[in-house]
Amino acid sequence: MIETVIFDFGDTIATLNPSKEEIVYEFLASKGVNLSLENIKYAYRVVDYCYKQSVLKLIESKDKKDFLIKINYELLKVIGLSLKSELWSAELYEYFKSKKRWELFSEVIPVLKRLNEVGYKTAILANWDRRLKDIVKDMAIEKYFSHILCSEEISIEKPDPEIFLYLLKVMALNPEKAIYVGNEYETDVIGARDAGLIPVLIDRNNFWPNADCLRFESLIGLSEYLKRI
């Protein structure tokens, strides 16, 4: 019997508004380059897959900035703008900083309320820096979670099963009675499964139609599933 639901944060319960693809789209449009959001989304998938090193592992703020500028550089190359990538990658970093805002998906609060009301424990576990708790607090959802753990706190990141096991130990949980809900197959599903949790994939863009795990288009599907079991 499932007793605990542990959530990822970015693109699972919260999203950028505008999205990262929309931010890039706006930036390129300001430069006279017109691309579809689908093209930008594809480029992000390529770059995200190829660059597994996380910015969270970089201690110095300058190193983090340089890494993100490099990601922009590679993104622009994948899009087909290699002649402009070096010139525009730092500009895009600053543009991103000015536009980046997190907001909850519309179904999040009703789902969290219901889970709490019927007795599920809920927590957040995310590859994130120490600002995560402040972001959650600013969104007024801190009260729904008994624990909020970011990877920077313990210097371990998903998909390493040790980060999942650490939270399980802190919460005194049996992994077989906990599910982990995330939006990335490799990072969230494989990591959670290797730690003994039941993985749930929130696949809002239908990237993994054949995923070998529980899979829903939104948290509403998860909520309905939990009603049935």
Q: How many residues does the chain have?
A: 229
Residue 141: band (very low, low, confident or very high) from pLDDT cuts 50, 70, 90: very high
Which tops the pLDDT comparison, 48 or 104? 104
Edge to edge, the sheet with strand 178-182 lists 147-150, 121-126, 4-7, 178-182, 198-202, 214-216
> Tell me: the pLDDT tens digits for 108-121?
999 999 999 999 99
Residue 196: band (very low, low, confident or very high) from pLDDT cuts 50, 70, 90: very high
Tell me what the pLDDT averaged over the chain comes to.
94
Residue 64: band (very low, low, confident or very high) from pLDDT cuts 50, 70, 90: confident
pLDDT for 229 equals: 85
Residue 48: band (very low, low, confident or very high) from pLDDT cuts 50, 70, 90: confident
> Tell me: the pLDDT tens digits for 75-86?
999 999 999 999
pLDDT for 136 equals: 98
Q: What is the DSSP string of the chain?
A: ---EEEE--BTTTEEESS-HHHHHHHHHHHTT----HHHHHHHHHHHHHH----GGG--SHHHHHHHHHHHHHHHHHHHT-HHHHHHHHHHHHHHHHHH--EEE-TTHHHHHHHHHHTT-EEEEEES--TTHHHHHHHTT-GGG-SEEEEHHHHT--TT-HHHHHHHHHHHT--GGGEEEEES-IIIIIIHHHHTTPEEEEE-TT-S-TT-SSEEESSHHHHHHHHHH-
Region 34-41 average pLDDT: 95
Check pLDDT > 60 for residue 224: yes
pLDDT for 54 equals: 64
Residue 57: band (very low, low, confident or very high) from pLDDT cuts 50, 70, 90: low
Residue 52: band (very low, low, confident or very high) from pLDDT cuts 50, 70, 90: low
pLDDT for 58 equals: 59
Q: In terms of CATH architecture, what is 4-15+104-228?
A: 3-Layer(aba) Sandwich (3.40)
